[in-house]
Structure 1
Amino acid sequence: MKRIGLVDIGSNTIRLVIFEYSEKTGLIELQNIKTPARLYQYLDADKVMAENGINVLCDTLESFQKVADKFNVEALYPVATAAVRQSKNITEIIDKVEERTGIKMRIISEKEEAYFGFYAVVNTLDYEDGVTVDIGGGSTEVTYYEDKELKSSHSFPFGVVTLQKLFFNGKAHNDSEAIEAARKFVKEQLQSLKWLGQRKVPIIAIGGSARNFARIHQSLSEYPIAGVHGYSMSKNDIEYVFKKLISSTMEQLDDLDGLSKDRQDIIVPSGIVFTTLYEEVNATEFIFSRKGLREGITMSILEEDYKHPFDKNEVFKESLRNLAYSYSINHEDAVQRQKLAELLYFELEKMGLIEGDKQQKKLMLQAAYLFYLGSYIDSDASSQHTYYIISNSSLNGIAHRERVKLALLASYKSKSLLKFFMDETGWFSDKEKGEIQVLGSILKFAHALNVSNTRVVTELYLEEEKDHLNLYINYTGDPIAEEYQAERQKKHLEKITKSKINIIFTENLH
């Protein structure tokens, strides 16, 4: 297990994130604190950082060092971006910080900043192609990637703070002339990148401004589940939030759920970048990634100490494994559930009782691995806990809608409880509800066939009789608990087959 303290010294905020990593749990965020230092305001016209700005930086780093010490952090990694990078007195800043605090900062280049954001995205989201955008206070990084391989990247020397200074200084946040002038400037800058236009891929947005956009939209639409990582918005959604921002007074923005108070004066410039970029790319959707520069740098540090700690091609698989470990799911029992669910699925499909679907089967098997993980909290309410844990967990590599479907399957107990959970989101059609109920029924019966956690069942198959079906279950050992539960739960299968099922347990003699 390793603990790392990553200090992101940005133009607008300085943030400390403490990460813990182990091969079993993956990368976990233990602490996340920030201060709106606004270092960019301490740069004069000649891009020289004033003594006051250097003092703010030193004071912040000293405070963060104390927090890191309390968490027994092995190493603190302070990395500086645009505000320090663009300072003419950069050597003086580095030397004064080290002299006063004993901390040596690392200055991230424009190219590195773009790369680390991209690297975090492809290792925590499952989009094969995309455009990433990370708007900071003093710079904006844009990349384009295909098949999770970086193709192009660029860092613009403007961010939300610089745009605010250039176009909104002394003006209202929603001044129409300032908005048009800023939009024209941003559009010209984006069009200078010949590799960016008309890509027709998702935009994956990183950083605080994008997070605020996602949270505002979730609040306005009364989004029913937690988490913004992987949250998807359409062009209309982005424009809806932007119109809400520019049609509101500053007093109304103060009460707008999802908008941080320290971003009220700079949220409109970020919206200009998002809406203009969406049009330039002709994007398919706008995705928020909670993982960005800090995670990208931390991942690269961990790769020095661990062999292949992250696999961009198995993002969700790793996230699933880490979640299962956190709730003490026994791997062998989980694999047994998967095996039994797959055998049942095959028998039902073979007899034409269900219509096979590769993607649905895959999701069912993932749910089999996590089935009733909520029993870790309370076995009597395992279904409810399972649903709320999975549906509200920030899982990597899975869209929110699929995450809820996974939660519905892994928590399946009865038709009535399934309906109760489904009504909370209202996301699924009657056809989908029927499909989820069928898959959930298979999982519930597979769970019954390993209720003792002794993995006694080895094979099973269905045979059709005149007025019923025979389900033959081969076992090794003592299946007394499984025999009882199979009889109790066979009603779930009978609803699928629409006929009576006679269960016959047969001992393996070899």
Structure 2
Amino acid sequence: MRLGVLDVGSNTVHLLVVDAHPGARPLPAHSHKADLRLAQLLDDSGAIGDDGIEKLVDVVRDALQAAEDKGVEDLLPFATSAVREASNADEVLARVADETGVRLQVLSGAEEARLTFLAVRRWFGWSAGKLLVLDIGGGSLEIAFGIDEEPDAAASLPLGAGRLTAGWLPGDPPAPDDVRALRRHVRAEIARTVGEFARFGAPDHVVATSKTFKQLARIAGAARSADGLYVQRELKRESLEAWVPRLSGMTTDQRAELPGVSDGRAAQLLAGALVAEGAMDLFGVESLEICPWALREGVILRRLDHMGSA
């Protein structure tokens, strides 16, 4: 059957259409994206304003039309940290439902981490052993660890690349003092969670997902997206540590000229790099592998599992 997953994230609203059935690998059939940047549309009270809600409604309508055009039989709509943390989340959800008929399921941070972990586990299989999974989104950092399909530990921290850029790095390029302050903040937040994971022992394999990690790996020399899903892509901490001071001295336009960096993500790349560097350092990770599957695939796999057991 043809499934669609509608991901209302902090940076983008992304419709992924796949052909799938229980027991089979989901095959991508279509992708429809809109850069909405909901996290940046919050007002001083933490609410998404009327203009932002109207934009979201329009984008959801466009995604619904794309899903219909592509023959989607079952749509799985969800929202992550930007909607979850908005002070008027109930109003946003009600407006979207009333005006489009789409009822967004708001995932908790822990649910995001667990579903992303499921996708990574299915991608790498049981032979990968104990997995440590890192995922930097626009609003949050998800961390999960475990040996099964359900992680033994999962955490979500307010360390998304978009959130941190807006709140900590106003300059272009940012002031060195602002970069140092953000670095201290990131590491303090991550350090609070390290002990929760350390008690389970060392991972056998460390994996990262998300656009931020993919772009950091690409500028550090990993293969292009055009080279295909099955090319192994790694990010070494040594390479990342060398790139952080270079990124901090660049303007947004200069970062956008780097290989694999999109215009829409260039402004957030430094904050994402500081989070990635901090996580790899504090968790003692020298190298990690990039996984092409993440939260959207986890949502699809969970739906297929439920269909198979029905």
- TM-score when normalising by structure 2: 0.90
Secondary structure of the corresponding residue to residue 144 of structure 2: strand
- Deviation readout 1:163-214 (Å, 9 max, x if unpaired): 1122102x13443212211111111111111224596534321111112112
CA distance in 2, matches of 1:130, 1:148: 10
Letter in 1 for 2:100: T
Q: Given the two structures, how large is their TM-score scaled by the length of structure 1?
A: 0.56
Once the 2 structures are TM-superposed, how far is the Cα of residue 140 of structure 1 from its aligned partner? 1.5
* Structure 1 residue aligned with 2:25: 26
Where does the alignment leave 5 or more consecutive residues of structure 2 unmatched?
none
- Which residue number corresponds to residue 275 of structure 2? 273
- For residue 183 of structure 1, give the secondary structure of its aligned residue in structure 2: helix
What root-mean-square deviation, in Å, do the aligned CA atoms of Structure 1 and Structure 2 show? 2.4
Amino acid paired to 1:103: V
Q: What is the CA-CA distance between 1:245 and the residue it aligns to?
A: 2.3
Determine the C-alpha separation between the residues in 1 that align with 2:172 and 2:262: 18
Q: Is 2:149 the counterpart of 1:143?
A: no
Report 1:229-248 matches (<5 A): 230-248=232-250
Partner deviation per Cα, 1:100-150 (whole Å, 9 max, x = no partner): 111111111122111101111111024212321211111221112235551
Give the drift of 1:263: 0.6
Q: Which residue number in structure 2 is paired with residue 116 of structure 1?
A: 115
Cα separation, 1, equivalents of 2:105 and 2:232: 29
**Residues 1:104 and 2:110 are matched in the alignment:** no
The answer to whether the Cα contact below 8 Å between 2:216 and 2:235 also exists between their aligned partners in 1 is: no
Separation in 1, partners of 2:253, 2:295? 32
- Contact conserved, 2:219 with 2:259, CA < 8 A, in 1? yes
Within 5 A, what are the aligned runs for 1:376-455?
none
1:177 aligns with 2:177: yes
**Aligned 1:100-499 pairs, distance under 5 A:** 100-126=99-125, 127-146=128-147, 149-169=150-170, 171-193=171-193, 194-196=195-197, 200-201=202-203, 202-218=205-221, 225-227=227-229, 230-306=232-308
C-alpha contact (below 8 Å) 1:10/1:83 kept by paired residues: yes
Gap change, CA 1:24 and 1:159, over 3 Å in 2: closer
Distance in 2, matches of 1:255 and 1:301, equals 39
Correspondences of 1:1-20 after superposition (within 5 Å): 2-20=1-19
Paired AA for residue 43 in structure 1: L
Give the paired residue count: 305
Partner of 1:367: none
1:229–1:290 contact (8 Å) kept in structure 2: no
Counterpart CA distance in 2 for 1:91 and 1:307 is 32
Q: Which amino acid aligns with 2:61?
A: E
Kindly provide the CA deviation profile for residues 66-102 of structure 1, in whole angstroms up to 9, marking residues without a partner as x: 1111111002221001111111211111111111111
For the Cα contact (< 8 Å) 2:238–2:286, is it kept in 1?
no
Distance 2:57 2:304 in 1: 27
3-state SS of 1:195 partner: helix
1:6 touches 1:16 (CA, 8 Å); kept in 2? yes
Q: Give 1 or 2 for the bigger CA radius of gyration.
A: 1
Question: Structure 1 residues 229, 109: CA separation in 2 closer, same or farther (over 3 Å shift)?
Answer: farther
Change in CA separation of 1:158 and 1:251 when aligned onto 2, cut-off 3 Å: closer
Provide the rounded CA distance (Å) in 2 between the counterparts of 1:229 and 1:113: 25
- Is the CA contact (8 Å cut-off) linking 1:80 and 1:105 kept in structure 2? yes
Distance 2:249 2:158 in 1: 29
Partner SS state of residue 308, structure 2: coil
Q: Distance in 2 between matches of 1:208 and 1:225?
A: 16
Once structures 1 and 2 are overlaid, which stretch shifts more, 82-91 or 21-30?
21-30
Q: Can you give the 5+ residue segments of structure 1 that lack an aligned partner in the other structure?
A: 309-510
Partner of 1:430: none
Q: Distance in 2 between matches of 1:243 and 1:112?
A: 34
Supply the distance in 2 between the matched residues of 1:131 and 1:77 (Cα, whole angstroms): 27
Residues 258, 89 of structure 1: alpha-carbon distance in 2 compared, 3 angstrom cutoff: same
DSSP 3-state at the match of 2:151: strand
Verify the 8 A CA contact 1:5 1:19 in the aligned structure 2: yes
Superposition deviation, residue 261 in structure 1: 0.7
> Aligned partners of 1:243 and 1:307: how far apart in 2?
51
**Structure having greater relative contact order (Cα 8 Å, sep ≥ 6):** 2
Farther off after superposition, 286-295 or 129-138: 129-138
**What do the CA deviations read for 1:311-335 (whole angstroms, capped 9, x no partner)?**
xxxxxxxxxxxxxxxxxxxxxxxxx
- The percent of aligned pairs where both chains have the same amino acid is 24
Matched, 1:43 2:42: yes
Q: Which moved more, 1:131-140 or 1:241-250?
A: 241-250
Displacement after TM superposition at 1:54 (Å)? 0.7
Distance in 2 separating the partners of 1:254 and 1:81: 26
